[in-house]
Amino acid sequence: MKIATFNINNVNRRLPNLLRWLRAAKPDVVALQELKSTDEDFPVQAINKAGYRAVWRGQKSWNGVALLARNADPVLIRTELPGGRGDHEARYIEAAVNGIIITSIYLPNGNPQPGPKFDYKLAWLRRLKSHAAKFIKQEMPVVLAGDYNVAPTELDIYPTRSWDKDALIQPKSRAAFKSLVDQGWVDALRALHPEKPMFTFWDYKRNRWARDAGLRLDHLLLSPALAPRLTKAGVDRKIRSEEGASDHAPAWIVLK
């Protein structure tokens, strides 16, 4: 079973890129982020034609998350992260596919920091940790997939000082991510590639793709009940080089 996470950065604008990748990579489940589409404008017909069924939560101009399943109907569980009274941003969706619970997470960016946006990011991470703890306690097979907007360690960012003030690499961001993982989650890409950068994001600015000046922001965390089934993990880097590409590339795992 192949499961991927892909920040598509506008699903309608980059629909041709998405469909080409689906045909080539044939993932069984895809977590999409940053749809930048209303619920009504989500391209469900084109996705169905490609052999996928979908559940999604859109938001005009910003955010938006979806889960696609190949030749299967994802069973929707929830469309928001618990504990966020008054939080109307479309950043979380959760569904079951073939006996596995899979999320699509679009964690807040948090810039500029310090400030309210960074506080929201850290609060969101606390909510995610609280919800994730229930999966661990119940020993459920779960993949927490998504764009976490956190580069967890120095290995997850190219050598630079230009991001030093960015919310993506702040000590508090990294500590919150580590606290989540320390519940017992397995960071799949890092588990199989402990010494490689495995970048998933290259900013459009300053020629960063050509220079391979990337960050690893997109993660697939496996619950202890699922981690023994992990056999492969990777990043489809070449997708980032296509015309009209997202600034992210898909990260993926294979489970036996």
DSSP letters for 117-146:
HHHHHHHHHHHHHHHHHHHHHTT--EEEEE
CA geometry: angle 114, 120, 124, nearest 5 deg: 135
The whole-angstrom separation of Cα 233 and Cα 191 is 9
pLDDT at res. 62: 94
Write down the domain spans for the chain. 2-255
Per-residue model confidence as pLDDT tens for the chain (256 residues): 999 999 999 999 999 999 999 999 999 999 999 999 999 999 999 999 999 999 999 999 999 999 999 999 999 999 999 999 899 999 999 999 999 999 999 999 999 999 999 999 999 999 999 999 999 999 999 999 999 999 999 999 999 999 999 999 999 999 999 999 999 999 999 999 999 999 999 999 999 999 999 999 999 999 999 999 999 999 999 999 999 999 999 999 999 9
What pLDDT was estimated at residue 67? 99
Q: What's the pTM?
A: 0.98
Residue ranges in the chain assigned as alpha helix (H): 15-25, 44-49, 116-137, 171-181, 188-192
pLDDT on residue 127: 98
Judge whether 145 and 103 are in contact, CB under 8 Å: yes
d(CA 153, CA 139): 28
Q: What pLDDT is attached to residue 203? A: 97
Q: Which residues pair with 147 in a beta bridge?
A: 106, 218
Q: For the chain, how many helices (H) and strands (E)?
A: 5, 12
pLDDT of the residue at 185 = 98
pLDDT of residue 184: 98
What pLDDT, on the 0 to 100 scale, is given for residue 38? Answer: 98
Closest to 233 (Cα-Cα) out of 245, 215, 221: 221
Q: What does the pLDDT read at residue 138?
A: 97
User: pLDDT at position 235, please?
Assistant: 98
What is the pLDDT at residue 42?
98
- The CATH H-level (homologous superfamily) assignment of domain 2-255 is Endonuclease/exonuclease/phosphatase (3.60.10.10)
pLDDT at 101: 98
- Taking only the tens place, the pLDDT of each residue in 142-201 is 999 999 999 999 999 999 999 999 999 999 999 999 999 999 999 999 999 999 999 999
pLDDT of residue 1: 98
